Each structure stands twice: as structure tokens, then as C-alpha cells.
Amino acid sequence: MSQGITINGKTANGQNIAVQVDENGVVSVSGILTVTGLVPGVDYDYLDVQQTDSDTETYVYKTGGSGGTTVRTIVVNYTDSTKKNIDNVAWS
């Protein structure tokens, strides 16, 4: 029987995991969750997370540390400042 990944009390490759989101929109994962890359196809060694405004977060991925070359930028726009619902995500 194949074991795929399901969330919240189910199994992920045989391990129990749980995902929770707090009142600030912070996601926490308990258990073992293997991640092969946060940004598929992009190598990076530095991540700069910016609170662009009350309902926007910008993630800048770089190689060569904080002063290095930007290899990907992801902008997450929420519907409002509670950050409970994502409006859209853009990357370049």
C-alpha cells in the first residue's frame, strides 16, 4: 500500500504530522516533514523576509549571502492585515 502525504493527524510517509495556524497566521508543523526545497528549481543560501506593508510579505532568495545575487522574489498579498487569507502570490 502506498503512503502519500495527508495533513492533520494523518501520515506523511509513515510519520504522524500536524499543521496549525495561529491567530497571527503563523504556520507550525509538528512531526517529521521532509522538504526538498522551499523554492523548486532555485538554489539559494540566504532568505530575506520583509513586511512590505500591513498586508504584504516579500521573500527575497539570494546566493552569496545577504549582499549576494537575488535569484527569486516571492510577494504574498493577504486580503487584510490579519493575514488569515491569501489574496494572491507573485514571483519573479
pLDDT digits (tens, 9 = 90+) for 5-15: 444 554 555 55
Same domain for 50 and 6: no
Same domain for 90 and 50: yes
pLDDT 10s digits, 24-76: 777 676 665 555 566 667 788 888 999 989 999 999 999 999 999 999 999 99
Same domain for 86 and 58: yes
Same domain for 47 and 92: yes
Same domain for 82 and 43: yes
CA distances 74 to 10, 12, 49, 62, Å, are 30, 27, 10, 12
pLDDT of residue 77: 92
Domain containing 26 equals 1-34
Nearest to 83 by CA among 58, 57, 62, 61: 57
Nearest to 71 by CA among 34, 37, 33, 45: 45
Name the domain count of the chain.
2
Mean pLDDT across 78-86: 90
Same domain for 44 and 25: no
Same domain for 52 and 18: no
